[in-house]
Chain A
């Protein structure tokens, strides 16, 4: 059986989730591998959320927020960007491929870009292979 990546996506309520909604209502086809979690702002995405997703078996994590300057709360997406950068540095040090975590800006009108992003990210994770972090974290050796 071929590897089917599990991807957790945190989408901000105001831009990216609406963008994903647009992709859906426009009947655009994209990879069915993502599990979307709607958050009010990408600034709400704590590093703990991402680490928990990895622990629970995600092969990749995607975060989407409003374009810089467009945040509904003015600067939540900048906070997200800084956390994302720092988290990537931490993940790299912990032996995880930093490409398994990805941040992208998706506006409410970018349904097509969202569909393409999901396809591209799914392929990227597929090429990286299964992560199996859950098993490694839970098995004490």
Chain B
């Protein structure tokens, strides 16, 4: 390869905050297209795959990285430090995946305080034996010097609650095909959407591309868990009484869950102009409740397990109330 060709390559970084690793794996899921990626891009930082240290990133000039895909929420001071660092070093910062977009599954920790989480994890959980009641300290002095750990925050945050974000690529994890489309758009110099846009997803709702049979008149007498219903494989989940987040979720994922006969859980986040995904869903679900009398409505609502956790499964830190009041 000549130097001329080398110059065209972009610098790509991928980093994980509070994440499960699934987003990084979704990048690996490009399979043989990885050669296409490396043809266009140099991977300059990717902790899951490459041994590049934080100090190497710190030594990069500002704006050195063309695109950073940041996955994972901001749970501790290390995540936050890297978010600031990568913002400084990157021209385009993409919140990649549900966790950096709206908080994701780690964001459900906002139902508890830091203290409650520490109590549970270090003292109370069934598998914990901690007779000396040891709990991690941020600093610990040993003979060799001082050991330091990142600070664990009380709140889980989405990426845009910490730094300025250019684009959002939602999903848990994002559909690999969408990533390839977005990546090729960036490297081929296609016109990019306005800053702050959600890319790699449609603007219409999940229901819009759903293949299941549905009627306009959805009525629900009782909410059921998927385990309580023998699914016929073709009727709308909501019409069977199973909560499906389709009405308040963007399309673009290829309806993977629904194709697998599981209801949508809402990982792609809300359609455009929706401020609070859970509230939108709550609003949609409430209109389907088939009762006019207060006690009947109460009885139907009673059958919803974990209202907040269901409607805000991927979006609690990014919602209006953001966390439980404590």
Contacts and interface: CB of A to CB of B under 8 A. Distances in A.
Contact of A141 (B155, B289, B301, B307): B155
B52 interface: no
B276 A79 contact: no
B321 A86 contact: no
Nearest to A140: B155
A34 B157 CA distance: 33
Nearest to A81: B297
Contacts of B282: 47, 83, 86-87, 90
Given A89-B301, A89-B304, A47 B292 contact: no
B287 interface: yes
B321 A94 contact: yes
A85 B326 CA distance: 22
Given A137-B321, A137-B322, A90 B297 contact: no
Contacts of A55: 320-321
Contacts of A46: 279-280, 283
B324 A141 contact: no
A82 interface: yes
B227 interface: no
B320 A82 contact: no
B289 A51 contact: no
B54 interface: no
A25 interface: no
A51 B311 contact: no
A48 B315 CA distance: 14
A12 to B, nearest CB: 17
A138 to B, nearest CB: 9
Contacts, number: 94
Interface in B224-249: none
Nearest to A68: B292
Interface residues of A, number: 27
Nearest to B311: A90
Contact of B289 (A47, A82, A136, A140): A82
B324 A140 contact: no
Contacts of B154: 141
Contacts of A68: 292
A133 B321 CA distance: 8
A78 B275 contact: no
Interface in A124-140: 133, 136-137, 140
Nearest to A47: B279
B325 interface: yes
B286 A79 contact: yes
B161 interface: yes
A96 B324 CA distance: 8
Q: Count chain B CB atoms within 10 A of each CB in A55, A89, A140 and give the residue with the most.
A: A140
Q: Count chain A CB atoms within 10 A of each CB in B286, B306, B311 and give the residue with the most.
A: B286
A117 to B, nearest CB: 18
Contacts of A96: 321, 325
B276 A51 contact: yes
B298 interface: yes
Contacts of A81: 292, 294, 297
Contact of A78 (B280, B283, B292): B292
Given A48-B320, A85-B297, A90-B308, 5 more contacts: A47-B280, A51-B276, A55-B320, A78-B292, A85-B301
Interface of B: 153-155, 157, 161, 275-276, 278-280, 282-283, 285-287, 289, 291-292, 294, 297-298, 301, 304, 306-309, 311, 319-326
**Which A-B residue pairs are the 6 nearest by beta carbons?**
A95-B325, A47-B279, A82-B286, A141-B154, A83-B286, A51-B320
